[in-house]
Amino acid sequence: MSAQNHIRRMTAPQITARKGGDPIVCLTAYDAPTAAIVDEFCDLILVGDSLGMVVHGLPSTVGVTLDMMILHGRAVMRASHKALVVVDLPFGSYEDSVETAFRNASRVMMETGCQAVKIESGSYAAETVSYLVERGIPVMSHVGLRPQSMHVMGGFRARGRDTKVADEIMVNAIAAAQAGSFAVVVEGVSEEIANQVTAAIDVPTIGIGASAQCDGQILVTPDMLGQFERVPKFVKKYGNQLEATRSAVSAYANDVKARSFPGSANLYHFKKPAS
């Protein structure tokens, strides 16, 4: 039996139990090679619908389909062995009714093997969260800046910077937690409201553009690696993948033009006949 078979994945209850404890390390992954790397360091891997923008070049997450999420979820599950894997339910796949939400969430879990799903939620989705959890589907909720609602919100803008919106975010977070969410992502809000939300709910908050005092943090991995020139203000670039890739491709192109690649080390030749 391989060593990987002895590794037990993090579970949703274990994530919940980290409330107020050791910070929860989370990143996104959309493919097997990335998942294999981040799995070593992360407690939770999110197969986010952000893949629509960072992988497929879509202008927003609204065009992401359930089939796309399942395809990428399968890839991440194949390469990860330790972290809890959460797959986003995309826009239009859970808002219609609790029955629709369950049908699509159960399909995602059955076809990918993931351990939980995430929905952009608030008071309006509390019934959906409760319905899914009661039927065996762990749910991570998402409040604050909700990318699937960008058309209603007027774009990708930070929220929770005035009292009215802050109160709305607080109500949504409390509703999501009380409905049974095992954790709540808090995105693009003021530090003050993120701290208040973290103190107000009894499940972990996972911050992204929120506060260092959240129970955990998540970033879109290509943003964090420096794959793009422009990233949101809340992203800290831990690498410069864009420049590294450009440099490598430039060197390759130059070698091809100079006919210095492939070299002898990269070529095959007839085998010498046996004597």
**Which CATH number characterizes residue 36's domain?**
3.20.20.60
Q: Answer whether residue 75 shows pLDDT above 70.
A: yes
CA distance 138 to 133: 5
Q: Let me know if residue 236 belongs to a domain.
A: yes
pLDDT, tens digit (0-9, with 9 covering 90-100), for 178-213: 999 999 999 999 999 999 999 999 999 999 999 999
pLDDT, tens digit (0-9, with 9 covering 90-100), for 225-271: 999 999 989 999 999 999 999 999 999 999 999 999 999 999 998 88
Buried b (16+ CB within 10 A) or exposed e, 98-132: beebbebbebbbebbebbbbbbbbbeebbebbbbb
Q: Let me know if residue 175 belongs to a domain.
A: yes
Nearest 5°: the CA angle 181, 187, 190 is 120
Q: What is the pLDDT of residue 272?
A: 81
Q: Answer whether residue 1 shows pLDDT above 70.
A: no
Domain count across the chain: 1
Q: Let me know if residue 62 belongs to a domain.
A: yes
Per annotation, catalytic residue among 168, 187, 191, 229? 187
Summarize the annotated binding site as residue ranges.
Answer: 49-50, 88, 118, 120
Residue type, 211: S
Q: What is the pLDDT of residue 270?
A: 87
Q: Answer whether residue 38 shows pLDDT above 90.
A: yes
Nearest 5°: the CA angle 40, 46, 47 is 110
Summarize the annotated binding site for Mg(2+) as residue ranges.
Answer: 49, 88, 120
CA distance 228 to 211: 23
Q: Let me know if residue 261 belongs to a domain.
A: no
Enumerate helices (H) and strands (E) in the chain, giving the number of each: 11, 8
**Mean pLDDT computed over every residue of the chain:** 91
Q: Which pTM was predicted?
A: 0.91
Task: Quickly state the pLDDT bin for 155 (edges 50, 70, 90).
Answer: very low
Question: In angstroms, what CA-CA distances link 212 with 37, 103, 126, 135?
Answer: 24, 36, 26, 33
Average pLDDT over residues 132-157: 73
Q: Answer whether residue 219 shows pLDDT above 80.
A: yes
For the CA atoms of 199, 190, 120, 163, the dihedral, rounded to the nearest 10 degrees, stands at: 80
Catalytic residue status for 187: yes
Distance of CA 84 to the CA centre of its chain: 11
Which residues span the domain enclosing 167? 3-240
Summarize the annotated binding site for 3-methyl-2-oxobutanoate as residue ranges.
Answer: 49-50, 88, 118
Q: Let me know if residue 270 belongs to a domain.
A: no
Helix (H) or strand (E) holding 105: helix 98-112
Q: Answer whether residue 156 shows pLDDT above 60.
A: no
Q: Let me know if residue 257 belongs to a domain.
A: no
Q: Which of 72-86, 151-165, 175-189, 224-238 has the lowest mean pLDDT?
A: 151-165
Q: Let me know if residue 254 belongs to a domain.
A: no
Q: What is the pLDDT of residue 5?
A: 56
Which of residues 7 and 247 earns the better pLDDT score? Answer: 247
Q: Let me know if residue 272 belongs to a domain.
A: no
Q: What is the pLDDT of residue 161?
A: 52
